[in-house]
Amino acid sequence: QDEMYVHHYKNMAAFVGAAQPRFSERQCLETAMQIVTLIEGMMLLTAPRAKHFSSRAAVSRMIKRAVVKLMAAEAGLDSPAPIS
């Protein structure tokens, strides 16, 4: 199980690096850990039998906004790029 987690964590770090090529490997790994943690936490709220606090579409938009803000903050940008 740990191997699978490490694989997905490193895979996410590769996505972070592709989105922010100026990030160091450490920044990519640290940002990936925060994104993975955010997604895992949200999975608790979107499980099939979970009591939902909003629609899945709203949760998806919220996660996208949070990731964009996180990436912008890590890059030292004042404001993130708009989400398409």
Over the stretch 9-62, which tens digit does the pLDDT of each residue have?
899 999 999 999 999 999 999 999 999 988 888 777 777 776 666 677 887 888
Express the helix, strand and coil content of the chain in percent, nearest 5 each: 70, 0, 30
pLDDT of residue 83: 54
Distance of alpha carbon 80 from alpha carbon 75, whole angstroms: 10
Q: What are φ and ψ of residue 23, in 5° steps?
A: -70, 145
Q: What are φ and ψ of residue 54, in 5° steps?
A: -165, 180
Residue with more model confidence, 32 or 4: 32
- Burial (CB < 10 A; 0-12, 13-18, 19+), residue 68, is middle
pTM of this structure: 0.73
pLDDT of residue 55: 74
